[in-house]
Amino acid sequence: MIKKAVFSVSNSDYTKCPKTDKPEIAFIGRSNVGKSSLINMLAGVKDLAKTSGKPGKTQLINHFEIDGRWYMVDLPGYGYAVVSKSTKSSWEKMIRGYLTNRANLIAVMVLIDSRLEPQKIDLEFITWCGEHDVPFVLAFTKADKLGLEKTKVSIQRFLDAAKEIFGEEPQYFITSANKREGKEELIRFFEAEISEYYEALG
Ligand SMILES: Nc1nc2c(ncn2[C@@H]2O[C@H](COP(=O)(O)OP(=O)(O)OP(=O)(O)O)[C@@H](O)[C@H]2O)c(=O)[nH]1
Ligand SMILES: [Mg+2]
């Protein structure tokens, strides 16, 4: 489990992010999907990352240092319809630059709202990750909202659509920030990835 989580720094420019001497795991997905809420749930700190009922809350690349050993990174959401074209292109520059230039980025958690039909923008985003060798894993969010059976059906629709693209189902987790669901599984996954990173360094 996570013992200590502290805010480190916010950046609009990936070149100014912390030194890449610790591994990091980033959280991305559509605006309002629950990225900041999931980070808080995993860290066990209520207001570590700022959350909001309104989409577009997180605007920068936010690093949180975890147990002095790795970073969780909260990213701004994509697909928020109301932002201007110029905001959209600066998002693209910032996020694509970040995702393709951090040598210490060991996993990108792509959050998918477990209630929705497969969204084109999510499928496009994971396709882009695949094309750019960005190591992504899916986390379905808000699993408390529909009930277990409906959630499973909805998630399977997305997995089937992803399988069409990749030939196999991507690795995935089912989460609820409200009910603290998926916490143990995710932390275990993170720990394994982080250990592997440090072992490879020697
Ligand atoms: N029921 C339920 N609501 C959730 C859950 N996770 C997040 N929410 C709600 O969804 C809304 C958005 O949550 P955020 O964590 O701010 O979402 P975000 O993806 O960080 O959004 P942006 O920073 O705007 O891109 C808030 O009203 C949260 O309370 C969940 O697991 N269950
Ligand atoms: Mg956020």
Give domain limits for the chain.
Answer: 5-201
Give the global pTM: 0.96
The answer on pLDDT for 82 being more than 80 is no
Kindly indicate whether the domain formed by 5-201 is annotated with CATH number 3.20.20.80: no
Given a contact cutoff of 8 angstroms between Cβ atoms, the answer to whether 149 and 123 are in contact is no
Partner residues linked to 27 by β-bridges:
74, 109
Q: Among all ligands shown, which has an atom nearest to the Cα of 57?
A: 1
Q: How far is the CA of 36 from the centre of ligand 1 (A)?
A: 7
How large is the angle between the packed helices 148-166 and 120-131, nearest 10 degrees? 40
Q: Does residue 99 or residue 80 have the better pLDDT?
A: 99
175 Cα–ligand 1 center, Å: 12
**Under a CB-based contact definition with an 8 Å cutoff, are residues 101 and 132 in contact?**
no
Q: Across residues 162-170, what is the average pLDDT? A: 97
The pLDDT tens digits for 28-73 are 999 999 999 999 999 999 999 999 998 888 889 999 999 999 999 9
pLDDT at 162: 98
Query: Does residue 80 carry a pLDDT above 70?
Result: no
- What is the rounded average pLDDT for all residues in the chain? 94
Ligand nearest to the CA of 139: 1
Q: How confident is the model at residue 195 (pLDDT cuts 50, 70, 90)?
A: very high
**Which ipTM score applies to this complex?**
0.99
Q: What is the pLDDT of residues 4-27, one digit of tens each?
A: 999 999 999 999 999 999 999 999
Q: What is the pLDDT of residues 140-155, one digit of tens each?
A: 999 999 989 999 999 9
Pocket of ligand 1 (CB under 6 A): 31-37, 51-53, 55-58, 76-77, 141-142, 144-145, 176-178
CA 164 to ligand 1 center in whole angstroms: 28
How high is the pLDDT of residue 32? 94
Complete DSSP assignment for 49-99: S---SSTT---SEEEEEETTTEEEEE---B--TTS-HHHHHHHHHHHHHHH
